[in-house]
């Protein structure tokens, strides 16, 4: 019964029947509780900020690493482009599938005309 009454007081109910001394005690308990909540909130916020700062550093390091890899790949590609072709495959004209059908039609027409001669 006392706990229910104290809980009501903490919730702001039934304050009219309390003495000045009890109200001061209630105020002190409420302020103490609010301070604990603020302290815990600040601890959590600082921990989150610290985590995010570490994560930011990790992402910056990853970014620098990836940029260096991109640079290495670009330099390697430039060096490959500077090398002269060494095999027949590299010298061959690139295959264009759009012209393949047209070339086959032309070849079949020529063969057909040769067959009639």
**For residues 110 and 102, what is the distance between their CA atoms, to the nearest angstrom?**
13
Residue 98 counted as domain residue: no
Residue 68 counted as domain residue: yes
Predicted confidence (pLDDT) per residue in 28-84, tens digit: 988 999 999 999 999 999 999 999 999 999 999 999 999 999 999 999 998 888 877
Model confidence, pTM: 0.50
Residue 113 counted as domain residue: no
Residue 15 counted as domain residue: yes
**Residue 21 structural domain:** 1-81
Residue 114 counted as domain residue: no
Backbone angles phi, psi at 12, to 5 degrees: 90, 10
Number of domains in the chain: 1
Residue 37 counted as domain residue: yes
């Amino acid at each position: 019964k006392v706990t229910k009454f104290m809980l009501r007081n903490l919730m702001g109910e039934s304050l009219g029947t309390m003495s000045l001394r009890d109200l001061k005690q209630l105020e002190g308990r409420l302020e103490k509780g609010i301070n604990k909540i603020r302290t815990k909130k600040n601890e959590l916020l600082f921990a989150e900020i610290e985590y995010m700062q570490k994560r930011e550093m990790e992402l910056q390091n990853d970014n620098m690493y990836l940029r260096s890899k991109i640079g290495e790949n670009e330099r390697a590609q430039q060096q490959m482009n500077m090398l002269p072709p060494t095999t027949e495959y590299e010298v061959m004209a690139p295959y264009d599938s759009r012209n393949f059908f047209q070339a086959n039609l032309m070849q079949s027409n020529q063969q057909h005309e040769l067959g009639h001669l």
